[in-house]
Chain A
């Protein structure tokens, strides 16, 4: 929200004034600063009673939450999900599963009440249903023209991120799915004249999504899918609907960013086929090392396996100081020229 409302630079600078290096993650920098000045688009978040974090996306989350736990002086629970370079080892599975028990103890102690296991099952079912619906929404973009773009997905994503496990997610995505199916039936595309279909990789450049979407649309290019929004429903295959609690250990551990680069490349290749992709736009995001380091290798794998071109945009998800508009524009234009030539216009 801070990034999208273009409040990132100010908050990042505040964090830098507090001693945090400008090379650190801009989500972390802006949140750390936001807490101290009640800043951002909604004037800061309510003061927490406890903090919970999971390092399945990065080691930064751990450091960031340590900072916040010291700041707010509240208990911190860390769900430690061992990285899966080439697979999910049995001992890692046991470790994560045991931490879920420790997590419940933490919650019971901090909240002062017992876990309601029936409620847990219900939330698990709602969570899985929400993920299924979100995936179904994303699947509609396999149609030509795509009824929505990745830029729309960046927006609608908010619910699966913040309200997963509630009825609201299901209601919202059910409606959205009906709307998208209707657009498909009517042949209505996200952009007026979809000729080229692109895949976005990495976290959005939040303050520049509108500019980017218009830029690509001006080339009749639609970013029809992305590796980011699909990460919230990417591990459904590990979830057992009737045993959500036990299976969530695996689902949380094997998410997109917690796997090896070659495994990520495999998933990108699947998306290329599924969404009939003509080219990849990679955001080399200086804030996010787990997502960005390895992109060069994924790029090479894609070029070798599918022979499609890719564009690397050097930027940052929140900190606009790392966005060089004219340079990005030139590169997008050149990249689109290549795509157009390959597609024979």
Chain B
């Protein structure tokens, strides 16, 4: 599908896209980390939200700030910033999540010059009345901070428009996921990876044009009835920055039919209620959305969610994909594994750094796992 080329190009090199966007000069560009960053507020302020990923380059400059036991996301993104790959950013927003991102924020603020810095200190607990009010308070402050930093005011009208825009984008992406889940052969895993990754950096208007076209194409394809072959698996973890994983799983006889990833379904699950007060509605979405393990929304919430998703998606297995040194995911893994085992859902864990293990090794692991399903 030629439509997909644009997503692949951008997902391959988001920074080049950001640079191009900056050159066009229409908007200020604000970088952000993680799926709890209020993109809607940035967009409503007339700026362009741009998700920051590690760039996979050799770590040199970041080694002067991070020990070897820090994850590749914090090392890679700081490295990219220090070598000037993110020079097109006018500012960066750091939502509070894990201990590593928390310190990355400090180090970034102290060492990366030329763009504004904004911490959004979200609650860690998400399931109490006080946390709910605090979440709204934090977003209210974030809104006024962005107004100051971007020298603008965010009107209620623009904010509501932003909510609608992002809801629409999330609906489209979810629909693409749904179609892939219904017929895994309709789209390669690497395509869906490219779509969602690119969506986190692309201009909304462009997405609102492209995503419906992708859906249209998929609907045409959907008529070709051939029983899908791959064993259905779910990918669960934090950030996936490795399109090759999808291909290797497919070659091993599997198909990723859904995920619980920060760079996946956690980005689009749950819409923001458009009828409510916008900030309260945004807060509510963060409180109820599938939770990141760096946050607390109950003792069994994540395991229950993964089991439910596996059942709903008719998945035969779960592949955990963690960044090495990611504490929140590593702490959750044993209990989620135990519950999956008890529920009879086969699972394996793959821990990756910036570079994947050798392809042969991955193939063998995935083949063994998938043949067992």
Q: Which residues B282-323 have CB closer than 8 A to chain A?
A: 293-294, 296, 299-300
B324's nearest neighbour on chain A, judged by CB, is A23
Shortest distance from the beta carbon of A95 to any chain B beta carbon, whole Å? 4
A294's nearest neighbour on chain B, judged by CB, is B103
Shortest distance from the beta carbon of B334 to any chain A beta carbon, whole Å? 3
A301's nearest neighbour on chain B, judged by CB, is B110
Instruction: Determine if A78 and B125 form an interchain contact, defined as CB atoms under 8 angstroms apart.
Output: yes
Shortest distance from the beta carbon of B104 to any chain A beta carbon, whole Å? 8
Instruction: Determine if A290 and B103 form an interchain contact, defined as CB atoms under 8 angstroms apart.
Output: yes
A contact residues around B299 at 8 Å (CB): 66, 69-70, 76
Complex formed: what's the CA distance from A292 to B104 in Å?
Answer: 12
A284's nearest neighbour on chain B, judged by CB, is B67
A contact residues around B106 at 8 Å (CB): 85, 260-262, 294, 297
Using A55-B124, A69-B299 as known contacts, say yes or no to A262 and B110 having CB atoms under 8 A apart. yes
A261's nearest neighbour on chain B, judged by CB, is B106
Shortest distance from the beta carbon of A100 to any chain B beta carbon, whole Å? 10
Size category, B interface? 35 or more
A contact residues around B119 at 8 Å (CB): 83, 85-86
Residue in A95, A284, A296 whose CB lies within 8 Å of B137: A95
B contact residues around A82 at 8 Å (CB): 96, 121, 123, 134
Mark interface residues in B327-343 (1 if CB within 8 Å of A CB, else 0).
11011111101100000
Complex formed: what's the CA distance from A85 to B108 in Å?
Answer: 12
Using A23-B69, A92-B134 as known contacts, say yes or no to A297 and B110 having CB atoms under 8 A apart. yes
Q: Which residues B84-117 have CB closer than 8 A to chain A?
A: 96, 98-100, 102-107, 109-111
Shortest distance from the beta carbon of B257 to any chain A beta carbon, whole Å? 25
A21's nearest neighbour on chain B, judged by CB, is B330
Most buried by B among A23, A85, A92, A296: A85
Complex formed: what's the CA distance from A89 to B142 in Å?
Answer: 12
Query: A44 in the interface, Cβ–Cβ < 8 Å?
Result: no
Using A95-B134, A296-B64, A297-B107 as known contacts, say yes or no to A78 and B70 having CB atoms under 8 A apart. no
Complex formed: what's the CA distance from A290 to B100 in Å?
Answer: 7
Shortest distance from the beta carbon of A5 to any chain B beta carbon, whole Å? 25
Query: A116 in the interface, Cβ–Cβ < 8 Å?
Result: no
Instruction: Determine if B99 and A23 form an interchain contact, defined as CB atoms under 8 angstroms apart.
Output: no
Complex formed: what's the CA distance from A290 to B70 in Å?
Answer: 11
Query: B66 in the interface, Cβ–Cβ < 8 Å?
Result: yes
Q: Which residues B104-162 have CB closer than 8 A to chain A?
A: 104-107, 109-111, 119, 121, 123-125, 128-131, 133-134, 137-138, 140-141
Complex formed: what's the CA distance from A284 to B105 in Å?
Answer: 19
Instruction: Determine if B296 and A294 form an interchain contact, defined as CB atoms under 8 angstroms apart.
Output: no
Complex formed: what's the CA distance from A314 to B69 in Å?
Answer: 10
A95's nearest neighbour on chain B, judged by CB, is B134
B121's nearest neighbour on chain A, judged by CB, is A82
Query: A48 in the interface, Cβ–Cβ < 8 Å?
Result: no
Query: A28 in the interface, Cβ–Cβ < 8 Å?
Result: yes
A contact residues around B300 at 8 Å (CB): 70
Query: A161 in the interface, Cβ–Cβ < 8 Å?
Result: no
Instruction: Determine if A63 and B103 form an interchain contact, defined as CB atoms under 8 angstroms apart.
Output: no
Complex formed: what's the CA distance from A18 to B333 in Å?
Answer: 10
Instruction: Determine if B124 and A293 form an interchain contact, defined as CB atoms under 8 angstroms apart.
Output: no
A300's nearest neighbour on chain B, judged by CB, is B64
B contact residues around A19 at 8 Å (CB): 333-334, 337-338
Instruction: Determine if A85 and B69 form an interchain contact, defined as CB atoms under 8 angstroms apart.
Output: no
Query: B325 in the interface, Cβ–Cβ < 8 Å?
Result: yes
Shortest distance from the beta carbon of A103 to any chain B beta carbon, whole Å? 10
Most buried by B among A24, A99, A262, A293: A293
Instruction: Determine if A80 and B123 form an interchain contact, defined as CB atoms under 8 angstroms apart.
Output: yes
Mark interface residues in B23-36 (1 if CB within 8 Å of A CB, else 0).
00000000000000
Residue in B65, B99, B324, B337 whose CB lies within 8 Å of A59: B99
Q: Which residues B47-72 have CB closer than 8 A to chain A?
A: 64-67, 69-70
Residue in A24, A64, A95 whose CB lies within 8 Å of B131: A95
Q: Which residues A270-304 have CB closer than 8 A to chain B?
A: 284, 286, 289-290, 292-297
Instruction: Determine if B133 and A95 form an interchain contact, defined as CB atoms under 8 angstroms apart.
Output: yes
Residue in B65, B111, B138, B294 whose CB lies within 8 Å of A91: B138
B contact residues around A55 at 8 Å (CB): 124
Shortest distance from the beta carbon of A227 to any chain B beta carbon, whole Å? 15
Complex formed: what's the CA distance from A314 to B67 in Å?
Answer: 9
Instruction: Determine if B327 and A25 form an interchain contact, defined as CB atoms under 8 angstroms apart.
Output: yes
Using A63-B293, A293-B66 as known contacts, say yes or no to A102 and B331 having CB atoms under 8 A apart. no
Mark interface residues in A89-121 (1 if CB within 8 Å of B CB, else 0).
101101100110010000000000000000000
Query: A60 in the interface, Cβ–Cβ < 8 Å?
Result: yes
Query: A318 in the interface, Cβ–Cβ < 8 Å?
Result: no
Residue in B65, B103, B109 whose CB lies within 8 Å of A289: B103
Complex formed: what's the CA distance from A121 to B110 in Å?
Answer: 41
A contact residues around B111 at 8 Å (CB): 297
A contact residues around B296 at 8 Å (CB): 62, 66, 78
Residue in A66, A78, A294 whose CB lies within 8 Å of B107: A294
Complex formed: what's the CA distance from A143 to B334 in Å?
Answer: 50
Query: A58 in the interface, Cβ–Cβ < 8 Å?
Result: yes
Complex formed: what's the CA distance from A64 to B110 in Å?
Answer: 30
A57's nearest neighbour on chain B, judged by CB, is B99
Query: A67 in the interface, Cβ–Cβ < 8 Å?
Result: yes
User: What are 25 A-B residue pairs whose CB atoms fall within 8 Å in the complex?
Assistant: A21-B330, A21-B333, A23-B324, A23-B325, A23-B327, A24-B331, A59-B294, A60-B327, A62-B296, A70-B335, A80-B124, A83-B121, A91-B138, A91-B140, A92-B121, A92-B134, A98-B130, A99-B128, A260-B109, A289-B327, A293-B67, A293-B70, A293-B74, A297-B65, A297-B110
B residues near A, CB below 8 A? 64-67, 69-70, 74, 96, 98-100, 102-107, 109-111, 119, 121, 123-125, 128-131, 133-134, 137-138, 140-141, 293-294, 296, 299-300, 324-325, 327-328, 330-335, 337-338, 351
Having A85-B102, A94-B134, one finds 14 other A-B pairs with CB under 8 Å, namely: A20-B334, A24-B327, A60-B99, A92-B121, A95-B123, A99-B130, A261-B110, A262-B106, A289-B70, A289-B103, A294-B106, A295-B67, A296-B64, A296-B65
A residues near B, CB below 8 A? 18-21, 23-25, 28, 55, 58-60, 62-64, 66-67, 69-70, 76, 78, 80, 82-83, 85-86, 89, 91-92, 94-95, 98-99, 102, 260-262, 284, 286, 289-290, 292-297, 314
